[in-house]
């Protein structure tokens, strides 16, 4: 199969750091596994991928990604099931989104099957780094950036694709407080909001910090034209339950990142017969629903946290309290179902888990 078509060079490390890691206290994204995968693109083609000891890169100061931001990434997770198998959650969707980000950023498209195979192989090499503890997982970061050492502006001719992994614990321990942002924007029509590209995150730091200074963990982004429609929450998609219906901003807008967690939440809810509306969601209807008690649940959906319950929403100087997290039947049920799937306690009817 693919294994035969892609030759991957594997140079295993001489000295594993595994025994020095405290797997009971894992901060998010600060502990790195022994190996990384690196694959260059030059002369119009991908070179042989290499798995080697995790370590620093040596870059030319004119490396074009640093100056002009041709840089994209993915975020995904591997879990250890109860019977010790290691599974990736919907990696084909990350591969597809990565290819779309490549396209939008004028980067060579990495074929989807190769993306999945490279991720699978790296996780297999570092399988002992996949945590055993429930709620913990191996976070996987595939990324690609332009490497031409040239300060003229044009799409680079050369690129690096890399993957590294981090054993991680819980992302947010506590429910989050968010503020509806009505001045700054994350993305605009015709822009790059749908691509998982570096500059989107750089642009969000300043408004996010202002929000934090006002006591909020994250911002709820609104549309860049009227600030009337809700788009996302921080670096997660946003989902509401109002009058028993699951309501989430539709992805037709190219300002919204197409999240795999959100897609999965929607598909699970539909499978259970919950009414789902993917459409434009106004700030006004959400505020009204909080005030009249019809809003039952609100949460962020993303790979890092899976489901991050929203406790409070700040809007025009007012802070509105949402129903207690324990009362949120649907999101708690979806969260448990997704956990059970990844741990192999639920049968994987939809074939979302790929064995490593
Ligand atoms: C990655 C990301 C998400 C969530 O996507 P998942 O595939 O669920 O992890 C949502 N919004 C933004 C802006 C993101 O970068």
Q: Are residues 221 and 75 in the same domain?
A: no
Residue 3 lies in a domain: no
Residue 1 lies in a domain: no
Ordered DSSP codes for 159-219: EEEEEEEEEE--S-SS-EEEEE-SS--S--TTSSTTS-BHHHHHHHHHHHHHHHHTT-SEE
Half-sphere exposure for 285 (CA within 13 Å, toward CB): 14
Q: Are residues 152 and 194 in the same domain?
A: no
Q: Are residues 149 and 288 in the same domain?
A: no
Q: Are residues 255 and 140 in the same domain?
A: no
Asked whether 307 lines ligand 1 (CB < 6 A), one says no
Percent of the chain beyond pLDDT 70?
Answer: 98
Tokens 């179902």 belong to: 337
Residue 172 is predicted with a pLDDT of 60
Choose one of 89, 257, 258 to mutate for the ligand 1 pocket test, by most ligand atoms within 8 angstroms of C-beta: 257
Query: Which residue's CA is minimally distant from atom 12 of ligand 1?
Result: 235
Choose one of 74, 104, 237 to mutate for the ligand 1 pocket test, by most ligand atoms within 8 angstroms of C-beta: 237
Asked whether 259 lines ligand 1 (CB < 6 A), one says yes
Residue 261 CA: nearest ligand 1 atom is 8
Q: What is the largest CA-CA distance in the chain?
A: 62
C-alpha span between 247 and 277 (Å, rounded): 5
Residue 293 lies in a domain: yes
CATH number, domain containing residue 33: 3.30.470.10
Q: What is the pLDDT of residues 322-337, one digit of tens each?
A: 999 999 999 999 999 9
Residue 350 lies in a domain: no
C-alpha span between 58 and 343 (Å, rounded): 39
Contact 231, 64 (CB under 8 A): no
- Chain centroid, CA 63 distance in Å: 26
Residue where a domain terminates, one of 168, 191, 225: 168
Asked whether 91 lines ligand 1 (CB < 6 A), one says no
Residue 5 is predicted with a pLDDT of 64
Asked whether 302 lines ligand 1 (CB < 6 A), one says yes
Residue 186 CA: nearest ligand 1 atom is 13
Full residue range of the structural domain in which residue 325 is found? 176-342
Residue where a domain terminates, one of 140, 168, 196: 168
Residue where a domain terminates, one of 168, 188, 212: 168
Weakly modelled stretches of the chain, pLDDT under 50: 1-4
Asked whether 265 lines ligand 1 (CB < 6 A), one says no
Whole-number Å distance, alpha carbon 236 to ligand 1 midpoint, is 5
Q: Are residues 180 and 158 in the same domain?
A: no
Q: Are residues 44 and 65 in the same domain?
A: yes
Residue 1 is predicted with a pLDDT of 40
Whole-number Å distance, alpha carbon 258 to ligand 1 midpoint, is 7
Whole-angstrom CA distances from 195 to 67, 168, 251, 271, 345 are: 18, 25, 12, 28, 33
3-state secondary structure of 120: helix
First-residue to last-residue Cα distance in the chain = 15
Q: Are residues 126 and 180 in the same domain?
A: no
Pairing of strands 230-233, 236-242: antiparallel
Asked whether 255 lines ligand 1 (CB < 6 A), one says no
Element holding 86 (H helix, E strand) = strand 86-89
Whole-number Å distance, alpha carbon 313 to ligand 1 midpoint, is 20
Whole-number Å distance, alpha carbon 234 to ligand 1 midpoint, is 9
Residue 125 lies in a domain: yes
Please, what is the angle between helix 260-271 and helix 91-104, to 10°? 130
Residue 325 lies in a domain: yes
Residue 97 CA: nearest ligand 1 atom is 7
Give the phi and the psi of residue 161 in degrees, each rounded to 5. -110, 130
Asked whether 101 lines ligand 1 (CB < 6 A), one says no
Residue 57 lies in a domain: yes
C-alpha span between 179 and 177 (Å, rounded): 7
3-state secondary structure of 331: helix
Query: Which residue's CA is minimally distant from atom 13 of ligand 1?
Result: 235
Residue 93 CA: nearest ligand 1 atom is 7
The pTM of the full predicted model, rounded to 2 decimals, is 0.96
Asked whether 260 lines ligand 1 (CB < 6 A), one says yes
Please, what is the angle between helix 112-125 and helix 91-104, to 10°? 130
Query: Which residue's CA is minimally distant from atom 10 of ligand 1?
Result: 236
Q: Are residues 160 and 18 in the same domain?
A: yes
CATH number, domain containing residue 257: 3.20.10.10
Whole-number Å distance, alpha carbon 262 to ligand 1 midpoint, is 8
Q: Are residues 43 and 163 in the same domain?
A: yes
Count the domains in the chain. 2
Residue 2 is predicted with a pLDDT of 47
Q: Are residues 13 and 83 in the same domain?
A: yes
Asked whether 193 lines ligand 1 (CB < 6 A), one says no
Asked whether 75 lines ligand 1 (CB < 6 A), one says yes
Residue 352 lies in a domain: no
Ordered DSSP codes for 18-84: GGG--TTS--TT----SEEEEEEEETTEE---EEEE-------TTBHHHHH--EEE--EEEEE-TTS
Q: Are residues 213 and 286 in the same domain?
A: yes
3-state secondary structure of 285: helix
Give the phi and the psi of residue 334 in degrees, each rounded to 5. -65, -45
Choose one of 71, 141, 185, 235 to mutate for the ligand 1 pocket test, by most ligand atoms within 8 angstroms of C-beta: 235
Residue 197 is predicted with a pLDDT of 98
Q: Are residues 223 and 299 in the same domain?
A: yes
């Amino acid at each position: 199969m693919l294994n035969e078509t892609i030759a991957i060079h594997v140079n295993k490390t001489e000295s594993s750091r595994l025994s020095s890691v405290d797997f009971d206290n894992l901060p998010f994204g600060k502990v790195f596994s022994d190996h990384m995968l690196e694959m260059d693109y030059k002369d119009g083609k991908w070179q042989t991928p290499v798995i080697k000891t995790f370590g620093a890169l040596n870059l030319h100061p004119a490396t074009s990604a640093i100056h002009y931001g041709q840089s994209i990434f993915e975020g995904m997770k591997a879990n250890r099931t109860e019977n010790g198998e290691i599974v990736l959650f919907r990696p084909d969707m990350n591969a597809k989104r990565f290819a779309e980000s490549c396209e939008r950023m004028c980067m060579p498209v990495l074929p989807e099957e190769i993306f999945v195979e490279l991720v699978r192989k790296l996780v297999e090499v570092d399988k002992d780094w996949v945590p055993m503890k429930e709620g913990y997982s191996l976070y996987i970061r595939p990324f690609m950036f332009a490497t031409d050492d040239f300060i003229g502006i044009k799409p680079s001719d050369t690129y690096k694709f890399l993957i590294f992994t981090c054993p991680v614990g819980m992302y947010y321990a506590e429910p989050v407080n968010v503020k509806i942002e009505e001045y700054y924007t994350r993305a605009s029509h015709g822009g790059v909001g749908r691509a998982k590209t570096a500059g989107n995150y750089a642009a969000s730091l300043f408004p996010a910090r202002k929000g934090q200074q006002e006591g909020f963990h994250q911002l709820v982004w609104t549309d860049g034209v009227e600030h009337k429609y809700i788009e996302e929450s921080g670096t997660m998609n946003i989902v509401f339950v109002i009058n028993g219906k699951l309501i989430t901003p539709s992805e037709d807008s190219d300002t919204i990142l197409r999240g795999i967690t959100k897609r999965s939440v929607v598909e699970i809810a539909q499978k259970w017969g919950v009414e789902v509306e993917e459409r434009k969601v106004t700030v006004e209807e959400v505020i009204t629903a909080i005030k009249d008690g019809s809003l039952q649940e609100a949460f962020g959906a993303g790979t890092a946290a899976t489901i991050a319950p929203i406790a409070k929403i700040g809007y025009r100087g007012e802070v509105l309290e949402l129903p207690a997290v324990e009362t949120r039947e649907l999101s708690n049920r979806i969260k448990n179902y997704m956990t059970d799937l990844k741990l192999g306690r639920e049968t994987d009817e939809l074939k979302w888990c790929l064995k490593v």
